[in-house]
């Protein structure tokens, strides 16, 4: 089994070195980038399995780096990313999630906590890319068709009215959960259970940020998209009508 590749992007070389050593000791392969521009050039052509980006960097910061990767349309567009944010900077966290990050962790941080979150997100990525039997009937059965929505978990592929929509691992799992049972309301905690393993702690409002990003991506393909409904004070549901 190939070791997961983690891209570390930070202008602080001490953090790059110490985190890289810790990750390599856990069996990961690391690529180190001291700035956003060099990371963008490298990751656009050869994405890692997961990126850990500092938000505040001179030149191209982490937010701009992630936005560029998400807009690339290639394999890098769906690469899971964890942001390193400034302590107590809630704006950093909100902006990171809005830009398409899968998680965030505040500096100074525990390397054990960072490794736990990396493992949790990689497990989610494995779930989203879970293989199905090669038989064509089995592959077809695994695809979820709901109205204009088509979800293919084996290929991590999403289509809306035939148009591709690129989602992160977290976004895909949330949408898949809602689409599996149209009309059934899922509250934030239920969606958190799907999107985050129990060793990763996030505020339940994080789900709201993910839902907003999912809607925004679908509305780029179809401005009239309204299949994800909000029931205020209750949760969310998918409508395939």
Separation between Cα atoms, residue 14 and residue 25, nearest integer Å: 17
Neighbours of 186 (CB within 10 A): 22
Mean pLDDT, range 36-42, rounded to an integer:
95
pLDDT tops 50 at residue 131: no
Q: Which tens digits make up the pLDDT trace of 145-178? A: 999 999 988 777 899 999 999 887 788 889 999 9
Separation between Cα atoms, residue 101 and residue 94, nearest integer Å: 10
Provide Rg for the chain, Cα atoms.
Answer: 18
Q: Which tens digits make up the pLDDT trace of 5-20? A: 999 999 999 999 999 9
pLDDT tops 70 at residue 69: yes
Q: Which tens digits make up the pLDDT trace of 189-212? A: 888 887 765 555 555 577 888 899
CATH superfamily of 5-129: Response regulator (3.40.50.2300)
The more confident residue out of 74 and 70 is 70
- Greatest pairwise CA separation for the chain in angstroms: 54
pLDDT band at residue 70, thresholds of 50, 70 and 90?
A: confident
Q: Domain locations in the chain?
A: 5-129, 144-238
3-state secondary structure of 147: coil
| The CATH number of domain 144-238, selected from 3.40.50.720, 2.40.30.10, 1.10.10.10, 3.40.309.10 | 1.10.10.10
Say how many Å lie between the first and final Cα of the chain, rounded: 43
């Amino acid at each position: 089994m190939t070791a997961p590749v983690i891209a570390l992007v930070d202008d602080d070389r001490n953090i790059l070195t110490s985190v890289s050593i810790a990750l390599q000791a856990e069996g990961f392969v690391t690529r180190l980038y001291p700035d956003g521009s060099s990371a963008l050039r490298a990751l656009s052509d050869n994405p890692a399995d997961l990126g850990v980006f500092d938000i505040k960097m001179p030149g191209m910061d982490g937010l701009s780096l992630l936005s560029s990767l998400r807009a690339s349309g290639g394999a890098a567009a769906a690469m899971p990313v964890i942001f390193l944010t400034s302590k107590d900077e809630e704006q950093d966290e909100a902006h990171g999630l809005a830009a398409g990050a899968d998680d965030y962790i505040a500096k100074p941080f525990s390397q054990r906590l960072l490794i736990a979150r990396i493992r949790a997100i990689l497990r989610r990525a494995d779930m989203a890319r879970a293989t199905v039997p090669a038989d064509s009937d089995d592959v077809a059965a695994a695809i979820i068709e709901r109205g204009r929505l088509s979800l293919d978990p084996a290929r991590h592929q999403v289509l809306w009215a035939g148009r591709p929509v690129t989602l992160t691992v977290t976004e895909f799992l949330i949408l898949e959960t809602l689409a599996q049972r149209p009309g059934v309301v899922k509250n934030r905690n239920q969606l958190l259970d799907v999107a985050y393993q129990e060793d990763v702690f996030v505020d339940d409002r994080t789900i709201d940020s993910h839902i907003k990003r999912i809607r925004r991506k679908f509305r780029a393909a179809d401005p009239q998209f309204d299949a994800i409904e909000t029931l205020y004070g209750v949760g969310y549901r998918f409508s395939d009508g």
